[in-house]
Amino acid sequence: MAVPVYHFNSALVRRPATTVSAGLRAHDRGDPSYLGICDEHDAYVMALQAAGLQVHVLPALEEFPDSVFMEDPALVFHEGAVVLRPGAATRRGEAEALVPTLESRFERVLRLPGGNVDGGDVLVLPRLVLIGLSARTDREGAGALLGCLAQLGLRGAVVQTPADVLHLKSDCALLDEETILTTARLSRSGIFAAFRELIVPQGEEAAANALRVNEQVLLGREYPRTLELLLGAGFRAVPLSTSEVAKVDAGLSCMSLRWRA
């Protein structure tokens, strides 16, 4: 029986830089607190460990304010890793900084040969990897990533991220083999027609960036109605504070790279 794609035993995280308040943001929600982000990051690492993962903590990269958000510059799978080319030019050095770490842990490390892709636009489903076109992921990059996935024996498909949504996974998360947590605006696109959809309540759209890790679903503490929705559907939800990382357009999925070693 195949192991579910949300079953992991390893993760990479990076300590927040003291420069994190200079990180990119599409919407100004005020500057995050460095200590506040450190507290949220510590709680996140503990939650991954409690879920059964061995978490490898990398040192902060002070020259890259967004470098705590590990998922955008690379993708990792059981089959190998892909070094991406983030859509924001200021983040591309993060990808290069990850190469030695990835090469020490994966037999196959591929590089995106062209275009731009942010890992936040990539949703891994049981039999398919979705690549969302967005302001950070262009069609050339998506096509290049399809080729990288094929080299790893994986199948991909390109979809459109809703207008004014930063990343595909800002609006969705895989909950189990048959269920997606998503927003009403992304549901209307029909890309999850083959799944059972749980629609986050209006006003809690950011809660859709949840993270299934083994038998737990990590969820922003700030979204009580979505927490009730998940508990009512039988999921073991673990609320974590995300109020500070949200100020730099981040959430739960982007703070780690997870795989089954």
Dump pLDDT digits (tens) for 135-169: 999 999 999 999 999 999 999 999 999 888 889 99
Instruction: Find the Cα–Cα–Cα–Cα dihedral 71, 251, 142, 84, rounded to 10°.
Output: -20
The pTM of this model reads: 0.96
Joined together, the tokens standing for residue 68 give: 């705590």
User: In this predicted structure, what is the pLDDT of residue 100?
Assistant: 98
User: In this predicted structure, what is the pLDDT of residue 6?
Assistant: 98
Spatial CB neighbours of 11, under 8 Å, sequence gap ≥ 6: 48, 53, 54, 55, 56, 256, 257, 258, 259
Per CATH, domain 10-259 is 3.75.10.10 = yes
φ/ψ region of 13 (left if φ > 0, alpha if ψ in -120 to 50, else beta) reads beta
Residue numbers of the chain with a pLDDT score lower than 50? none
Distance CA 6, CA 23 (A): 28
Would you please indicate which residues are annotated as catalytic (active-site) residues? 167, 254
